[in-house]
Amino acid sequence: MEATGKYANADMVCKDAQQTVDFCKQIMGGVEK
């Protein structure tokens, strides 16, 4: 998991980029497929 510095702000990025919500959930560990 490379979610340390680059995706450290995934919380904000998720809200800013709603189109990447899919990726956000993946890096956040919320993959409910």
Q: Which pLDDT score, from 0 to 100, does residue 11 have?
A: 64
* pLDDT tens digits along 1-33: 455 556 556 666 656 666 667 777 777 775 554
Q: Which pLDDT score, from 0 to 100, does residue 9 have?
A: 67
Q: Which pLDDT score, from 0 to 100, does residue 1 have?
A: 47
Q: Please state, in angstroms and rounded to a whole number, the distance separating the CA atoms of residues 1 and 18.
A: 21
pTM: predicted TM-score of the whole model, two decimal places: 0.27
Q: Which pLDDT score, from 0 to 100, does residue 4 have?
A: 54
Q: Which pLDDT score, from 0 to 100, does residue 22 have?
A: 74
- Residue 15: Cβ within 10 Å count: 11
Domain boundaries, the chain: 1-33
Radius of gyration of the chain (CA): 9
